A and B are shown apart, each in its own frame.
Chain A
């Protein structure tokens, strides 16, 4: 596997007029600018807003990395068959779901009442993924996208609730409604 980042970072600034119609201004930054991209965008926002009578309401910065083509899907693979991971969060009683497309059947329990249904939590690949999702890496921690206090799935204004531990994992078909 060889991953190559795009040579540019995409910046999209979203505007809205008085009718509520929306449109975008798109700008590109060199990859080397990634660490400073957000600082740039904030400064740039005031400059572009000064030449527009529409309201600038959102700025998005995105970097894409692509495989060099070495990745090949297994014969019979199905993107709708998913490894569904249910996490307890630091908000008691609130579960967060992460569903990874493309199930590997050998990672399912092979014996017991949940054989061929439940993912084997002792499987090394499963446990390594779960560990990273729960602990994160330096300066980056996955969260459930809501506030600990309201528990709602609001689109904006949330601080996020860290994942606590894997509750259960099984295979599912089709994206669940709550995704």
Chain B
């Protein structure tokens, strides 16, 4: 893997009185931090709204990191073989995370049905679980902990299993 920083993109979405929408994206240098891009977008929003008679509906700031070797998965890999985690959150909700291409070697074959449940004590699975539940230290910036849609922390992993299901893939950005 050779991950490199891509551009930061600030996108503004407008809507006219017929409810037709149109967007404009502005690229910032790859070295721009997300924080700085957000500050730029917050400054830009008033100025760009002032030159349009459409309603500025929303804006977004995004950053990409990508592998410039554009690799393929291992032989026999399938993105639709998902690893699925059902997770309890501190607000007493349940959320589900899935990832493409669960490794067969992480599945338990000694319980029924065999090859269905993920081995939570496997060192790699346990490390992922710890990161999800306790977060990852980002040095002086503190600990970053994943959350559910409401911004609530994860509390515990309720279930972990393999499921074959369709894939979701968002629209690719150009550039």
Q: Mark B46-77, 1 if CB is under 8 A from A, else 0.
A: 11111111111111111111111011111111
Complex alpha-carbon distance, A35 and B38, angstroms: 10
Residues on A with beta carbons closer than 8 Å to the beta carbon of B101: 15, 17, 23, 52-54
Chain B residues with CB under 8 A of A142: 26-28
A28 touches B131 (CB 8 A): no
Contact A74 B17, CB 8 Å, known A41-B65, A104-B53: yes
Cross-chain contact A16 with B73 (CB below 8 angstroms)? yes
Category for how many chain A residues contact B? 35 or more
Contact among B23, B38, B52 for A63, CB-based, below 8 A: B38
One digit per residue, 1 when the CB lies within 8 angstroms of any chain B CB and 0 when it does not, for chain A 22-50 equals 11111111110111111111111101111
Chain B interface: which size bin? 35 or more
Chain A, Cβ-Cβ closest to B39: A137
Give the shortest distance, in Å, between B173 (CB) and chain A (any CB).
8
Asked if residues A156 and B68 are in contact (CB atoms below 8 Å), the reply is: yes
Task: Check B71–A57 contact: CB distance below 8 A.
Answer: yes
Q: In the complex the two chains form, what is the Cα distance from A78 to B52 in whole Å?
A: 10
Q: Is the CB of B60 within 8 A of A67?
A: no
**In the bound complex, do residue A17 and residue B78 qualify as a contact, i.e. CB atoms below 8 Å apart?**
yes
**Chain A residues whose C-beta falls within 8 Å of the C-beta of B8 in the assembled complex:** 140
Is B98 interfacial (CB 8 A cutoff)?
A: yes
Which residues, 134 to 162 on A, are CB-close (under 8 Å) to B? 136-145, 153, 155-160
Convert B12-38 into 0s and 1s, putting 1 for each residue whose CB lies closer than 8 angstroms to a CB of A.
101111101111101111101111111
Interface of B is mostly: mixed
- Contact mask for chain A residues 76-97; partner B; CB cutoff 8 A; 1 contact, 0 none: 1111101100000000000000
Are A17 and B58 neighbours in the complex by a CB distance under 8 Å?
no
Contacts of A49 in B (CB 8 A): 1
- Knowing A17-B77, A18-B77, A44-B136 are in contact, say whether A3-B71 is a contact too (CB < 8 A): no
Can you list 12 A-B pairs with a CB-CB distance of less than 8 A? A22-B167, A34-B38, A40-B135, A53-B101, A54-B79, A58-B65, A98-B26, A101-B52, A102-B53, A145-B7, A153-B175, A157-B68
**Chain A interface (Cβ < 8 Å from any Cβ of B):** 1, 3, 7-8, 12-31, 33-45, 47-67, 71-80, 82-83, 98-104, 107, 125-126, 128-129, 132-133, 136-145, 153, 155-160, 175
Which 9 pairs show the lowest CB-CB distances between chains A and B?
A102-B54, A54-B101, A139-B36, A102-B52, A23-B167, A36-B138, A36-B141, A101-B22, A23-B79
Known: A57-B70, A99-B24. 20 other contacts (CB 8 A): A1-B56, A15-B73, A19-B78, A21-B80, A24-B167, A24-B169, A28-B149, A35-B34, A37-B144, A44-B136, A48-B99, A52-B77, A62-B62, A67-B55, A73-B15, A74-B17, A79-B22, A100-B14, A139-B35, A139-B36
